[in-house]
């Protein structure tokens, strides 16, 4: 967008002469496109004149368009209490969809005035509109995406939110600084939002404001890629790893591969989060261990779903202290088993951090070297079983569209191995590897089919 004109929904022709052709080339590689918008319009754009003339912008009590100069000169605010304004805004979005845009980053939506204003809907509470406006804004965009791409296929990347906005996922933590302190603050913010019923959360890896040091950037890569959603983004400097230092690309590769391999697990956990309202990330420890008094005070670690404990590192040296609740825990990187409850101190290089798998967990994961996020989550995958408990357990397999494919059951045996069973719907899927407590046990070639 051109300066002083956003958000006018137009690509700057000097920089993007053929946006549709460009997007088509990018999407030919199997990628999807997200673009940035907001709900304000700069007065120098033709879009502002169009909206003002039609009465689609928030007004003052004397009938003038309400404007300010906070982010762009003379910005107006789209009045989403006006049905015609909503329809007009959706038409602008549809122009983006037609050239191949798949998702929308709905930035801003905050600092809505409550004095000397008049909304189209005269019944609204001016004070409450300061928060409610964000919900209206995100709802309009979400429903437009859903209409275009189908139910369950709409994705936002929203910053401003209020109660009820968790229905329009997902959200990120806003414009944090590029420091270890801000990284810790981001963890606390993500935990708080999760407690508020928001299932999915992300953060600007490396921080937004300023330029992260290589140490901050690499530690933040590990943290950011163990959230439900991940992105590299910043304000005053590029966040691509090769612009930081030589090692950053390798760190990114390690944790990106881990996330790609975890996609079958993450999708199944996401389905549970949608049904229950319990966050996928960041999940406060007390959700899983409510009877443990210590878990209610932990603000530097989290659960990624119900099986994986993550403790980000906030130091250059790699020193980190974290808490393991009662039970057996397996270190993902070393396969070491430790037993809680206990506080634990570790020192990590940049290629690892505390990632511990809970006792009795069953993780369906992609094979080592997996670089895709979308693949057959029920075929040519690994079945990781950690410290199997005495009682049989089963895990649901979900495909990349969130559809349940069946279940895999695991029961411990007297000889220390496990028995694996597949539901009938999974009986044709037999190219699986069994990994028990980090040690490969071989292919699962013969198995029992059962619906129990």
Residue numbers annotated as active site = 107, 110, 175
Q: Give the residue from 35, 36, 34, 46 showing the smallest Cα distance to 8.
A: 46
Sheet holding 75-77, edge to edge: 40-41, 75-77, 67-68
Using DSSP bridges, classify how beta strands 34-37 and 103-106 pair: parallel, antiparallel or unpaired.
parallel
What gap in Å lies between CA 306 and CA 288, rounded to an integer? 7
User: Tell me, what DSSP letter sits at residue 450?
Assistant: -
What gap in Å lies between CA 117 and CA 98, rounded to an integer? 35
What gap in Å lies between CA 262 and CA 252, rounded to an integer? 15
Structural contact between residues 312 and 353, judged by C-beta atoms closer than 8 angstroms: yes
Concatenate the DSSP letters of all residues of 179-239 into one string.
SHHHHHHHHHHHHHHHHTT---EE-EET-SBS---HHHHHHHHHHHTTSSS-EE--SSS--
Q: Give the residue from 388, 384, 381 showing the smallest Cα distance to 355.
A: 384
What gap in Å lies between CA 226 and CA 186, rounded to an integer? 13
What gap in Å lies between CA 353 and CA 311, rounded to an integer? 7
Structural contact between residues 259 and 280, judged by C-beta atoms closer than 8 angstroms: no
Nearest-5° Cα angle at 322, 205 to 310:
45
Quickly count: other Cβ atoms within 10 Å of residue 317's Cβ: 9
Token couple for 58? 């928030």
**Exposed/middle/buried for 163, CB within 10 Å: 0-12, 13-18, 19+?**
exposed
Structural contact between residues 324 and 356, judged by C-beta atoms closer than 8 angstroms: yes
Query: How many angstroms from the chain centroid is the CA of residue 405?
Result: 23
Using DSSP bridges, classify how beta strands 381-385 and 362-365 pair: parallel, antiparallel or unpaired.
antiparallel
User: Tell me, what DSSP letter sits at residue 409?
Assistant: E
- Name the phi and psi angles at 249, rounded to 5: -65, -35
């Amino acid at each position: 967008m051109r300066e002083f004109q956003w958000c006018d929904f137009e690509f700057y022709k000097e920089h993007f002469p053929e946006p549709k052709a460009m997007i088509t080339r990018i999407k030919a590689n199997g990628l999807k496109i997200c673009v940035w918008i907001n709900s304000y319009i700069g007065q120098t754009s033709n879009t502002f004149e169009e909206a003002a003339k039609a009465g689609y912008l928030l007004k003052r009590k004397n009938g003038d368009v309400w404007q300010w100069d906070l982010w762009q000169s003379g910005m107006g605010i789209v009045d989403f209490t006006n049905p015609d304004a909503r329809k007009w805004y959706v038409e602008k979005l549809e122009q983006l969809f037609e050239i191949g845009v798949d998702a929308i980053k709905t930035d801003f939506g905050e600092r809505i005035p409550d004095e000397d204003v008049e909304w189209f809907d005269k019944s609204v509470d001016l004070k409450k509109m300061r928060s409610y406006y964000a919900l209206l804004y995100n709802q309009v965009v979400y429903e437009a995406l859903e209409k275009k791409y189908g139910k369950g296929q709409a994705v936002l990347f929203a910053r401003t939110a209020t109660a009820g906005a968790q229905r329009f996922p997902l959200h990120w933590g806003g414009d944090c600084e590029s420091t270890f302190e801000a990284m810790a603050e981001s963890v606390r913010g993500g935990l708080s939002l999760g407690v508020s019923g928001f299932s999915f959360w992300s953060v600007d890896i490396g921080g937004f404001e300023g330029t992260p040091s290589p140490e901050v950037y690499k530690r933040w890569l590990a943290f950011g890629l163990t959230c439900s959603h991940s992105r590299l983004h910043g304000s005053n400097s590029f966040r691509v790893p090769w612009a930081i230092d030589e090692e950053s690309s390798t760190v990114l590769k390690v944790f990106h591969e881990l996330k790609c391999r975890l996609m079958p697990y993450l999708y199944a956990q996401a389905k549970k989060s949608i049904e229950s309202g319990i966050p996928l990330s960041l999940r406060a420890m007390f959700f899983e261990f409510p009877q443990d008094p210590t878990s209610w005070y932990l603000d530097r670690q989290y659960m990624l779903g119900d099986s994986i404990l993550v403790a980000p590192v906030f130091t250059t040296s790699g020193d980190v202290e974290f808490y393991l609740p009662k039970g057996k825990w397996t270190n993902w990187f070393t396969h070491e088993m430790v037993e809680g409850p206990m506080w634990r101190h570790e020192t990590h290089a940049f290629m690892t951090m505390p990632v511990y798998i809970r006792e009795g967990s069953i993780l369906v994961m992609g094979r080592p070297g997996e670089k895709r996020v979308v693949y057959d989550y029920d075929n040519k995958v690994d079945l990781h079983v950690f410290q199997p408990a005495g009682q049989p357990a089963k895990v649901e397999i979900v495909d990349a569209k969130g559809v349940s494919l069946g279940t895999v059951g695991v029961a411990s045996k007297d000889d220390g191995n496990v028995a694996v069973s597949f539901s009938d719907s999974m009986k044709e899927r037999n190219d699986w590897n069994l990994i028990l407590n980090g040690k490969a046990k071989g292919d699962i070639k013969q198995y029992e089919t059962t619906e129990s």
